[in-house]
Structure 1
Amino acid sequence: MLVAAACCPCPPLLVPEVASGAAGELAGLRAACMDAVGVLAAARPEVLVVVGPAEQAGRGPHPQGARGSFRGFGVDLAVRLGPADGAEPEPGERELPPSLAVGAWLLERAEWNGTPVEGLGVGEPLPAERCAEVGREVAAGARRVALLVMGDGSARRTRKAPGYHDELADGFDAAAARAAAAADSVALAALDAELAVDLQTAGRACWQVAAGAGENAGLRGALLYDEAPYGVGYFVATWS
């Protein structure tokens, strides 16, 4: 059963070494993410599942101790997903997709308490119905499950945004943040997948996985951050 969830954005710029001279610009966002991870720890889950958007090669489950890095962003920084337990990588082991690498970095920074951690890479084209099914499967059973859900809002919030400006972006992001803030699974599940693609939203499918996991969980939501630096929508919300 789902006992807590946190929605956090996953830009590599969240990592100070990647942001370099601009690291201070996202200090408030980092602090909100740390607070959100603290809510997860306080729920005392038996397992934490980190869910994040992924391209084809990174989709599916990633085991505890899986490795990721930010070398693709010009920084020689490696991370692991949860405690490594001294295990060496298996031959051909997949590297974490960037979203899960950011999640792993957050957990390392928060000194995660040792609760087992799993990763799940989700393809953004995944239909809403299937996202909900995946979420239900993750939360099924007697174990206490927490979710760290990584995903960005629209990259078209301003004229200087990566995708330029779209007048629908503000409304879409506001609806997503409002639903997450209220732990409203129905509203999250209703987000328009095609519009999300048009608005270059990198979190829709993962939010809808959370919606499926949170059905009938009776959790209360809180919004810790909701801004659009660099023209990209970032919000942090917790369910507990």
Structure 2
Amino acid sequence: MLVAAAVCPCPPLLVPELAAAAAPELDAARAACTDTLGVLAAARPDLLVVVGPAEESAHGTHAEGTPGSFRGFGVDIDVRLGRAEAGTAVPAPSERRLPPSLAVAAWLLERTGWSDAPIQGLGVGEPWEAERCIEVGRHIAARAERVALLVMGDASACRTLKAPGYLDERAAPFDASVARALGKADVAALKALDTERARDLKASGRAPWQVLAGAAEEAGLSGALLYEDAPYGVGYLVATWS
């Protein structure tokens, strides 16, 4: 059963070395992510599942110890998703690697010294329909007696003229509705997110949030919104469910 969840944004710019001189702009987001991971640790889960958006080649599960990297973004930083158990084969550089969203999660977990439970990763696709995401969430919640989720994903990328998706007047109301749902642990509202609207607004978190909704159906958790802002015209949200 799901006992806790953390929702974090997944821009590689969370890594200060990548953001360089602009790193202080996301200090508050980094601090909120640290706080929400503390909530996960306090829940003492038997299993942590990290869910994030991924390209088709990275859909599906990623074992503990799977490597990731930010070299493609211009910084010489490598990460791993937790620590592989003794005797576990770790993928070679030419084999399966973490998508950027899970690499950011791995960096956050390393930064906070996570060692509280085994970790599994799951890359989900933007085209996945709500029903599929919700069903995946249900299966995740049944994997262990005490399951925690770290859910990575951004809100709209259309909040300003300079945003990656340019300005769309629908973006701010969409992000506000997601922030309310995450802040209240409103499972029904997350399930009802408009898939097409999310796609139009380039909201990478839609599918991961709906996985969370499926996992939390029977959990009865309470939510708290820790951070909400749109630097660079992209909506970033941090929330805890416990």
Q: Tell me which residue corresponds to 1:202.
A: 204
TM-score, with length taken from structure 1: 0.97
Deviation at 1:64, TM superposition (A): 0.3
Cα offsets for 1:63-92 (capped at 9, x unmatched): 000000001100110000012346552455
Matched, 1:183 2:179: no
Superposed, which structure 2 residues align to 1:68-83 within 5 Å?
68-83=68-83
8 Å CA contact 1:82, 1:114 repeated in 2 = no
Distance change in 2, residues 1:64/1:23 (3 Å): same
TM-score, with length taken from structure 2: 0.97
Gap runs ≥5 in structure 2: none
Structural RMSD (CA):
1.1
Q: Judge which range, 15-24 or 85-94, deviates more.
A: 85-94
Alignment partners' CA distance in 1, 2:84 and 2:20? 27
Distance change in 2, residues 1:157/1:93 (3 Å): same
Superposed, which structure 2 residues align to 1:52-201 within 5 Å?
52-85=52-85, 87=88, 89-90=90-91, 93-201=95-203
Deviation at 1:17, TM superposition (A): 1.0
Query: Size of the alignment, in residue pairs?
Result: 240
| SS at 1:7 equivalent | strand
Alignment partners' CA distance in 2, 1:147 and 1:93? 25
Deviation at 1:114, TM superposition (A): 3.8
Q: Judge which range, 205-214 or 90-99, deviates more.
A: 90-99
Cα offsets for 1:198-229 (capped at 9, x unmatched): 00111000000000000021100000000000
Matched, 1:42 2:42: yes
Deviation at 1:185, TM superposition (A): 0.6
Q: Tell me which residue corresponds to 2:29.
A: 29
8 Å CA contact 2:46, 2:144 repeated in 1 = no
The amino acid that maps onto 2:171 is A
Gap runs ≥5 in structure 1: none
Matched, 1:9 2:9: yes
Deviation at 1:141, TM superposition (A): 4.9
Alignment partners' CA distance in 2, 1:130 and 1:142? 20
